[in-house]
């Protein structure tokens, strides 16, 4: 028998209930070339040394240090090697080897003299500038060596880590499967963008595409959306289709307690195990979470501004955990200075749209859950505990990147 659903619980308690049920999805093996944005399920080790030989760190001439005696005359240019070529022949005294950055140096060369420090004439070079301290040679395996673990399990292959993964020369990576997400939105008033004006009191559906984009940014594979009217059978049918295809279903609207709020009752008929319904926060109070079989279901309010904050605080960690990064990897709360005074908070925990303005944070004036234009200026969420005291200009406030 499942635990009873909790209501009006704290933000932290809601997170704790979600953590119990969310685990990374099964791993799959894919080509490294297709691994961008994925999360490693197993460590990735090097298949080659880097660099694979002693190589030039600059364009110039490879030489033997013991030939660089006081009063040095000309050095004969014995050959040329480019990156990807084979090392040149060992150098005799008074010989130099033309070389480009990344090319292997001759076996007995121990310095590369940059082009700009020499004068070249008749296949010979002579020094025209004093030699620098650096020898401009990268020794073999000084970056990493064959068999060395380069990236741990749980690593997100963002651009920087993808460079390392590709440099490993491994053809494949074992990564967590992307969570597949589908949206079910209900509301008789909703119209596709561009069609609302043709209906009396029609409202453009401004939220579903934005949340699909949000989900993709957090690592999901999106499976589209269904927009249905305020009718329990339609909501149930659209959700049944969604749970057959998705690891994560987001239900928009119909989450409050009015006689047209039908989402949760419709889903209970599908076997929804509801963990919580309603969080003591503003905006986003109607947010709820449960599961139907192995599919996670998150209910978000239909108001766009409230829904986006709730998505950042609840959907992002769910997708992060399912995708292998971990629940808490979605959060990097930090302190920032306020540009202006902020009044005392109320009985609910507040999550406010804010904007970083140079070295300070400005709380956006209009904080209505249904207002949409203020979102164009927001890049942060500012957090205020319940019954928080007033703050002055220059005080710190806790913020999270939106």
* Inter-CA distances, 326 with 25, 106, 197, 385, Å: 11, 48, 43, 25
Which CATH architecture does the domain made up of 334-401 adopt?
Beta Barrel (2.40)
The pairs formed by 188-195 with CB atoms below 8 angstroms and a separation of 24 or more are: 188/229, 188/230, 190/227, 192/227
Chain-centroid distance, C-alpha 155 = 11
**pLDDT tens figures, 140-179:** 999 999 999 999 999 999 999 999 999 999 999 999 999 9
Residues of the chain with CATH 2.170.190.11: 55-138
**C-alpha count within 13 angstroms, C-beta hemisphere, residue 365:** 1
Pick the CATH number of 28-49+146-176 from 3.90.105.10, 1.10.340.30, 3.40.50.150, 3.40.1360.10: 3.90.105.10
- Assigned CATH topology for domain 6-25+177-330: Molybdenum Cofactor Biosythetic Enzyme; Chain A (3.40.980)
State residue 198's pLDDT score.
Answer: 74
**C-alpha count within 13 angstroms, C-beta hemisphere, residue 351:** 27
State residue 65's pLDDT score.
Answer: 86
**pLDDT tens figures, 53-70:** 999 999 999 999 887 765
Percentage of the chain exceeding pLDDT 90: 73
State residue 215's pLDDT score.
Answer: 97
Q: What is the mean pLDDT of residues 12-19?
A: 96
Cβ atoms of 156 and 325 within 8 Å: the answer is yes
What's the whole-model pTM score? 0.87
Pick the CATH number of 55-138 from 3.40.50.360, 1.20.210.10, 2.170.190.11, 2.60.40.10: 2.170.190.11
Q: What is the DSSP letter of 342?
A: B
Helix H or strand E encompassing 7: strand 6-9
State residue 41's pLDDT score.
Answer: 97
Query: Other C-beta atoms within 10 Å of 42: how many?
Result: 15
Residues of the chain with CATH 3.90.105.10: 28-49+146-176
């Amino acid at each position: 028998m499942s635990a009873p659903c909790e209501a009006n619980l704290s933000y932290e308690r809601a997170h704790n209930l979600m953590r119990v049920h969310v685990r990374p999805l099964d791993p799959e093996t894919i080509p490294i070339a297709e691994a961008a944005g994925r999360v490693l399920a197993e460590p990735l080790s090097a298949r080659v040394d880097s660099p694979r030989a002693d190589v030039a760190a600059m364009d110039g001439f490879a030489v033997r240090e013991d030939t660089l005696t006081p009063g040095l005359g000309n050095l004969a240019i014995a050959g040329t090697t480019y990156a990807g070529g084979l090392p040149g022949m060992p150098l005799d005294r008074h010989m130099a080897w033309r070389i480009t950055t990344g090319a292997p140096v001759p076996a007995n060369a121990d310095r590369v003299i940059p082009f700009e420090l020499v004068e070249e004439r008749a296949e010979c070079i002579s020094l025209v500038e004093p030699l620098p301290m650096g020898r401009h040679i990268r020794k073999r395996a000084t970056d990493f060596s064959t068999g060395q673990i380069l990236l741990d399990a749980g690593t997100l292959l963002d651009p920087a880590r993808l460079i390392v993964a590709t440099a490993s020369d491994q053809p494949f990576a074992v990564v967590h499967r992307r969570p597949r997400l589908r949206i079910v939105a209900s509301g008789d008033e909703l119209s596709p963008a561009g069609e609302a004006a043709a209906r009396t009191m029609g409202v453009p559906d401004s939220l579903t595409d934005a949340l699909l984009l949000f989900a993709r940014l957090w690592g999901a594979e999106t499976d589209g959306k269904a927009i249905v009217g305020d009718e329990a059978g339609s909501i149930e049918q659209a959700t049944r289709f969604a749970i057959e295809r998705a690891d994560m279903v987001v239900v928009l609207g119909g989450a409050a307690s009015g006689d047209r709020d039908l989402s949760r009752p419709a889903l209970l008929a599908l076997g929804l195990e509801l963990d919580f319904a309603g969080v003591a926060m503003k905006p986003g109070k109607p947010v709820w979470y449960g599961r139907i079989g192995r599919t996670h279901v998150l209910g978000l309010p239909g108001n766009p501004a409230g829904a986006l904050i709730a998505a950042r605080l609840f959907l992002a960690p769910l997708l992060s955990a399912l995708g292998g990064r971990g629940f808490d990897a979605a959060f990097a709360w930090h302190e920032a200075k306020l540009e202006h005074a902020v009044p005392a908070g109320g009985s609910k925990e507040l999550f406010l749209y804010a904007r970083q303005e140079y070295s300070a944070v400005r709380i956006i004036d209009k904080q209505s859950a249904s207002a949409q234009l203020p979102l164009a200026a927001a890049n942060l969420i500012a957090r205020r505990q319940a019954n928080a005291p007033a703050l002055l200009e220059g005080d710190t406030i806790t913020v999270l990147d939106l």
